[in-house]
Chains A and B, each alone.
Chain A
Amino acid sequence: MEIFANLALGLETALSPTNLVFCFAGVFLGTLVGVIPGIGPLAAISMLFPITFHLNPTAALIMLAGIWYGTSYGGSTASILLNIPGTTSSAITCLDGYPLARQGKAGVALLMTTVASFIGGSIGIVLLTLFSPVIAAYALTFGSAEYFSLMLLGLVAASSISGASALKGLAMVILGMLIATIGMDSQSGTARYTFGSLDLLDGLSISALAMGLFGVGEIIASVRRITVKDIDRKGITFRSMLPNREELKRSWLPMLRGSSIGAFFGALPGTGPSVAAFMSYAVEKRVSREPQRFGQGAIEGVVAPESANNAADQTAFIPTMALGIPGSATMALMLGALMIHGISPGPNLITDQPALFWGLVMSFWIGNVLLVILNLPLIGLWVRLLLVPYHLMYPAILIFVCIGAYSVRYVVFDIFAVMIFGALGYAMRIFGWPAAPLLLGFVLGPLVEQHFRRAMVLARGDFTAILERPISGTVLAITALLLVWSIWSGLRQRNGALASAKQS
């Protein structure tokens, strides 16, 4: 069996002392930047990129990759404890993670996200090992028509992502899409809604949006309200971190579903961990028998997106390594690390550089195990953070948010953007507008628009040509069914909803 020989070669490479050290350095740094809001994997990897000049390519790649998937482990921590997304891919984890923390279940939530991350990561690695070339070839058949249909399905599926009314949810998806149109239009080069500002030409950054809406909005609403007493001190014993039987039973299916969804979107160029996390949350809420629990601290709403983003982290390497096609800016950096060492990426990479490829794959296992070991004892430490009085905590959070926003590209405007979105976030709380659909619209909006316009050019203006393509046609049909079903079930529940609205 050739695969065992390859895996053995990979394990040998990954276990060499140098590579082990760089693997550890990568996942450690990844966890650290993941916990710090604002600084995501792209920023961290860009900062460390010059170091890779002086390393051998395998060690360099192992370290950069460690940062990449390590941030997803760390990213959920800030989401759960502070309602501030540590990375954008864990923004959705705020929705149920933060309520769990407020109920004194921060330990359980953190433990379960670590488990979910490991399971998602493992499934991703298995797919990467077994099917890289097949999946990569399949991903190529996805054109703009297919992307458009998938993104539309995501928007419709997620329109009821929050607990608020579907009407408000949809309105916020659209507001998010509108905010995302700010900047240079990719199809015509026109500057839209920039009012002559060069800072707006590249659009608003998702980290500024997420930190403002969730983090700053939360601080404004919480100052002088939250006291340490709110948190159960018992929450930090190791025993209390263990999930109970009920929570475990609720979690395992969402983890598997989340991993599959994550693996799929990770392998598609142009989407990635963030889209994967959003989609899996939307799916969980759809399939749940008690969707009203979501947003109130449902464990499914935490484990599904966290397994999805970690699975996506691993499968993102499929097109990158098997075809030489980076699906995101971060993956482009990975390829760049190879290219400065004279290794040209492409379909021959796996056969030409077996030690590098299989060494990298095996280092993912080592890295994921290291991350679990690294994160489990830290859970108690992180939870203890909640015992810091809020009047000392929130200025620190604000400072981290400001520095995080500024450090992305050293533009002062980005800090003001956080401020504006903080104000918007607070206004949205007042009006009862849900923040998650807005963030989703912001992420998917540009993809929907860009692929739709491009698909129409490629179809020469004939929308039926998009419907006739097997994949996009099927997905659009599912989307239409889902839309009809949501409206119908929405109407059916309307009377009940009206009654409960009166009480609130």
Chain B
Amino acid sequence: MKTIIAATLVVLAAGGAGVAQDFPNRPVTLIVPYGPGGSTDLLGRQLANELQEKWGQPVVVENRPGAGSMIGTASLAQAEPDGHTILINTAAFSTAPAVQTDLPFDAKADISPIAMIATSPYVVVGGAQVESETFAEFLAEAQARPMFFATAGVGSSSHFAAELLIQQAGIPGDVVHFSGGGEANTNLMGGHADIYISTTASVMPYVNNNQLKALGVLGEERFVLLPDFESSGENGVRGIDVDGWIGLFGPGGMSDELLDRINSDVNEVIWSEAFQGILQENFVIEGRTSAPQFKAQVEAEMDLWVRLADERGITGD
């Protein structure tokens, strides 16, 4: 609130949008479009700490949860594109607009992707009712017995990953929407649903505790941090080339030099010891993309999800 008013004042005084050289000249707001305490929030808070040290200006985390991250994202779209308001989000940024067609902003024009912070493939985990131990066994079991694919909610990345696998592997399956990843994991443990496909950060704690079993990862190759998990590609399932990620975004219309500036700062701070510790805990690797590369990837994914939503009849109404 205060920062928004201050932002307006500073912009008026400067007579135009912020310039990369004097960025940041006042406190920066980092919007987390999820409630506090989750894995994205924790990563965001660590990033805020690192950037604050680097920039010499306070970086304040603001949780704006709701509507599958779209409430926080909508508030970013309304901010000044001077880099003083930024947002951390997951691949939900690219999946949610495919379902929520009446968003008050254009996800491509009104948001600038800045940097990919971290990435990991989607992990396929099985619940109490699943007998398979490997990806190949899972494909056979799913053919024989139509399974329920749990999601963290309509339009979440776990929803689209499940739809994509069902389509590309040609297996029968029904998606069941739960309220968040926690509930999806619980229902797998209780045997109420069978499969959940989500990021490493969401499922690995339960896999490591032997509460859920990992059946494999989505993608052509195995994942460096989890070399024991079979990939979908090596089991003959083609056309799945999406990874989960966590990225940094700004409002639409940010200048190229400002985007590059923040991108290179992010790519620098993610190598700090504390940050690497968090990445390892979540089984993710750092992003290493330039702003234009990240933008191209996000937009390609958006197109993919819109196409998939169309083909699989996923609509918001």
Direct contact of A and B (CB under 8 A): yes
Interface of A toward B, CB cutoff 8 Å: 46, 49-50, 53, 140-144, 184-191, 196, 198, 201-202, 269-270, 319, 323-326, 329, 332-337, 339-340, 342, 344-348, 409-410, 450, 454, 457-458
Contact B104 A198 (CB under 8 A): yes
Contacts of A198 in B (CB 8 A): 71, 74, 104
CB distance from A411 to the nearest CB of B (A): 9
The answer to whether residues A340 and B45 also contact, given A140-B190, A144-B192, A198-B74 and a CB cut-off of 8 A, is: yes
Residues of B36-83 whose CB lies within 8 A of A: 36-39, 41-42, 45, 61, 63-64, 66-68, 70-71, 74
In the bound complex, what is the Cα–Cα distance between A148 and B248 (angstroms)?
Answer: 39
Contact A458 B182 (CB under 8 A): no
| 17 A-B pairs (CB sep. < 8 Å) | A50-B45, A50-B61, A140-B190, A141-B190, A186-B153, A186-B177, A186-B179, A189-B155, A189-B316, A198-B104, A325-B186, A332-B35, A336-B36, A339-B37, A454-B176, A454-B177, A458-B193
CA distance A335 to B36 in the complex (A): 10
Name the B residues within 8 Å of A140 (CB-CB). Answer: 186, 189-190
Decide yes or no whether B138 CB sits under 8 A from chain A.
no
Are B71 and A187 in contact (CB-based, < 8 A)? no
A-B pairs, 5 with minimum CB distance:
A336-B37, A189-B154, A143-B192, A346-B209, A140-B190
- B317: which of A190, A270, A329, A337 is its contact (CB, 8 Å)? A190
- A188 CA to B99 CA, complexed, in Å: 9
How many B residues, CB 8 Å from partner? 50
Known: A188-B316, A202-B71. A336 touches B176 (CB 8 A): no
Q: B289 within 8 Å of A by Cβ?
A: no
Instruction: Kindly state the separation between the CA atoms of A141 and B191 in the bound complex, as whole angstroms.
Output: 8
Complex formed: what's the CA distance from A339 to B99 in Å? 32
Which A residues are CB-close (under 8 A) to B190? Answer: 140-143
Chain B residue nearest to A196 in the complex (CB): B102
Tell me the minimal C-beta distance from A40 to chain B in angstroms: 14
B174 within 8 A of A: yes
Decide if A336 touches B38 in the complex (CB within 8 Å). Answer: yes
Q: How many A-B Cβ pairs are below 8 Å?
A: 123
Is the CB of B205 closer than 8 A to any CB of chain A?
yes
Provided the pairs A191-B102, A198-B74, A336-B38 are in contact, do residues A457 and B45 lie with their beta carbons within 8 angstroms?
A: no
Closest residue on chain B to residue A141 by CB atoms: B190
| Cβ-closest chain A residue relative to B46 | A340
Closest to B153 in A: A186
The answer to whether residues A143 and B187 also contact, given A333-B36, A410-B1, A458-B193 and a CB cut-off of 8 A, is yes
Q: Contacting A189 at CB < 8 Å: which of B35, B100, B174?
A: B100
Give Cα distance in the complex from A336 to B153, angstroms: 21
Partner of A457, one of B67, B174, B315, B316: B174
User: Bound complex: CA of A339 vs CA of B204, how far in Å?
Assistant: 13
Q: Residues of B contacting A336 with CB < 8 Å?
A: 36-38, 41-42
A269 surroundings in chain B (CB, below 8 A) = 182-183, 186
The distance from the CB of A9 to the nearest CB of chain B, in whole angstroms, is 23
Q: Which residues of A contact B227 (CB under 8 A)?
A: none
A339–B37 alpha-carbon span in the complex (Å): 8
Q: Measured between alpha carbons, how far is A142 from B37 in the docked complex, in Å?
A: 25
Partner of B205, one of A186, A191, A345, A457: A345
| Least CB distance, A417 to chain B, in whole angstroms | 15
Inter-chain contact A347/B209, CB cutoff 8 Å: yes
In the complex the two chains form, what is the Cα distance from A55 to B174 in whole Å?
45
**B23 in the interface (beta carbon within 8 A):** no
CA–CA, A346 and B41, complex, Å:
19
**Candidate in B38, B148, B182 with the most chain A CB atoms within 10 angstroms:** B182
B211 at the binding interface (Cβ < 8 Å): yes
A335 with B37: CB separation less than 8 A: yes
Q: Are A346 and B71 in contact (CB under 8 A)?
A: no
User: A201-B66, A336-B37, A342-B281 in contact; A189/B42 too (CB < 8 A)?
Assistant: no
For B67, give its contact among A53, A201, A325, A339 (CB under 8 Å): A201
- Are A202 and B66 also in contact (CB < 8 A) when A189-B100, A196-B102, A346-B209 are? yes
Q: In the complex, A52 Cα to B176 Cα: how many Å?
A: 36
A61 shortest CB reach to chain B, Å = 12
B206 at the A/B interface (Cβ < 8 Å)? yes
CB–CB B182/A332 < 8 A? yes
Residues of B within 8 A of A196 (CB): 102
Q: Given the known inter-chain contacts A270-B183, A324-B209, A332-B182, please indicate yes or no for A46 contacting B317, CB distance below 8 A.
A: no
Question: From residue B58, how far is it (CB to closest CB) to chain A in Å?
Answer: 12
Give Cα distance in the complex from A329 to B34, angstroms.
Answer: 11
**Complex alpha-carbon distance, A201 and B66, angstroms:** 8
Closest Cβ neighbor of B189 among chain A residues: A140
With both beta carbons as reference points, the residue of chain B lying nearest to A270 in the complex is identified as B183
B37 and A332: CB pair below 8 A?
yes
**When the two chains form their complex, are residues B192 and A458 in contact, meaning their CB atoms are under 8 A apart?**
yes
Residues of A within 8 A of B68 (CB): 184, 189
Chain B residue contacts of A187, Cβ below 8 A: 154, 177
Contact bitstring B208-220, A, C-beta under 8 A = 1, else 0: 1101000000000
